[in-house]
Amino acid sequence: MKLYGAKGWIAIGIASLIAFVVFPVLTIAVPPESPFHISQYWVTLIGKIMCYAIVAIAMDLVWGYTGILSLGHGLFFALGGYAMGMYLMRQIGRQGQYQSDLPDFMVFLDWKEFPWQWWNTDQFWWAMLLVVFVPGLLALVFGFFAFRSRVKGVYFSIITQALTFAAMLLFFRNATGFGGNNGFTDFKSILGLPITTPETRMLLFTLTALVLIATLLLGRWIVTSKFGRVLTAIRDAETRVAFCGYNTVHYKLAIYTLSAVICGIAGALYVPQVGIINPSEMSPANSIEIAIWVAVGGRGTLTGAIIGAGVVNYGKSFFTQAFPEYWLYALGLIFILVTLFLPQGIMGLLKKKS
């Protein structure tokens, strides 16, 4: 099975070289005085953007290739993040402010023991299972009911938005047991390694890059396979595909669930790098932003999704530092201009040129 041409593989090779060799050497081995040194700021920023790029690929699989615009992908991302966050909170142990086995927020709420959701979360393997299965099961159940009753198009977008909104309200409650408004923060270590040292950060960075490349290849494998062809056909004429004898519900459900799991993994990589997770990650605005990353890069091209996530998020971090007043104007304009003038996104623009 040929995924990419020679040029494509060379590009992936160069990207891996940069992520796995150049970056680690320049941040850790090169001393800070040297002009070639890369600071922690860039490691965190690019690590964060790579997590977003993984989400963008997941979104592109369901929206760009299958035509399902989900406005709830932020929820899956946050669920993966929360699962990881629970493990990280357990890793703090007695180093918290109150020197208790329980996380600080539980001591503050005067709880005496862990609620049931926290069962076994001090085990890394269990947390990893949660990262995969909680978003996956939610997507499977929700998607099953939605696709079976042929909820599609805008209706699907609106109810996924309502779903993430409801989840946000739920996680804002202190009684839900996930730290309410403040969520989880102040992490100390992961798998026994202190979380703030450059070495651990670099490890997380390279791990994220690895997952990103793996997701890209997996996505590419899916969309070039027969399964992927059926997905594209569903996007273009679902009724016709159904009349050809394909059960479209199964196809949509499979890609939707896979996409949710990928988002969950991205969330789990995001939390230790950024150091915080709270319910605002589930706000409907965040989920819509994911869609615009894909739209900017170009729907229906996986590379486009990565480029889109990179461009928009780099723009965001640049604007919010240089001109915090104008970021929302810029983001709003991107939404409008891309939908009006660039339906194929940046990739479409590049294709037209060549």
Partner 1 sequence: MRNLLFVLLLAAAPAFAIDKAALAKLAEGDNDEKIQAIAALLAEGDPEAAAVLAKFAEGEVVVDGKPVEVVVNNRVRVAVADALAALGLLAPERATRLAAAKALAGGADALMLPLVKKALDKESDPEIKSLLELVASSMQMKGGDKATRIAAIERLGTSNSPNSRTLLAEAVADADEDIRIAAQKSLREVQGKLAWGERAGLLFAGVSLGSILLLAALGLAITYGLMGVINMAHGELIMIGAYTTYVIQDFFKMTFPKAFDWYLLAAIPASFVVAGLVGMMLERVVIRWLYGRPLETLLATWGISLMLIQSVRTIFGAANVQVENPAFMSGGIQAFAGVVLPWSRIWIIAFAALVLFLMYFLLTKTRLGLFVRGVTQNREMAACVGVHTGRVDMWAFGLGSGIAGLAGCALSQIGNVGPDLGQGYIVDSFMVVVFGGVGQLAGTVYAALTLGFANKFLESVSGAVIAKIVVLVFIIFFIQRRPQGLFAVKGRTVEA
Work out the end-to-end distance of the chain between its first and last CA atoms, rounded to an integer number of angstroms: 26
- The mark string for 111-150 relative to partner 1 (x by CB under 8 A, - otherwise) is ----------------------------------xx-xxx
Closest listed residue to residue 215, CA positions, set 1, 63, 3:
3
In sequence order, what E strands does 127-204 have?
184-185, 189-190, 193-194
Count of other CB atoms within 10 angstroms of residue 6: 7
Window of 51-59, 115-123, 203-211, 331-339 that interacts with partner 1 by CB under 8 A: 331-339
Residue 93 identity (one-letter amino acid) = G
User: Which residues ranging from 263 to 292 are in contact with partner 1 (CB under 8 A)?
Assistant: 284-285, 288, 291-292
Q: Kindly tell me which of 98 and 145 has the beta carbon lying closer to partner 1.
A: 145
Q: Kindly tell me which of 111 and 327 has the beta carbon lying closer to partner 1.
A: 327
Does position 10 interact with partner 1 (CB under 8 A)? The reply is no
User: Which residues ranging from 152 to 211 are in contact with partner 1 (CB under 8 A)?
Assistant: 153-155, 157-159, 161-163, 165-166, 169-170, 172-173
Q: Kindly tell me which of 43 and 139 has the beta carbon lying closer to partner 1.
A: 139
State the nearest-atom distance from the C-beta of 233 to partner 1, in Å. 16
- Give the H/E segment covering residue 306: helix 302-322
- The mark string for 291-330 relative to partner 1 (x by CB under 8 A, - otherwise) is xx--x-----------------------------xx-xx-
Query: Tokens standing for 297?
Result: 């890069």
User: Which residues ranging from 45 to 104 are in contact with partner 1 (CB under 8 A)?
Assistant: 69
Distance CA 307, CA 206 (A): 19
Closest listed residue to residue 73, CA positions, set 167, 144, 172, 151:
167
Count of other CB atoms within 10 angstroms of residue 67: 19
Closest listed residue to residue 81, CA positions, set 127, 41, 47:
127
Scanning 225-247, the segments in alpha helix (DSSP H) are 226-236, 238-243
- Residues within the interface to partner 1 (CB under 8 A): 69, 145-146, 148-151, 153-155, 157-159, 161-163, 165-166, 169-170, 172-173, 239, 284-285, 288, 291-292, 295, 325-326, 328-329, 331-336, 338-340, 343
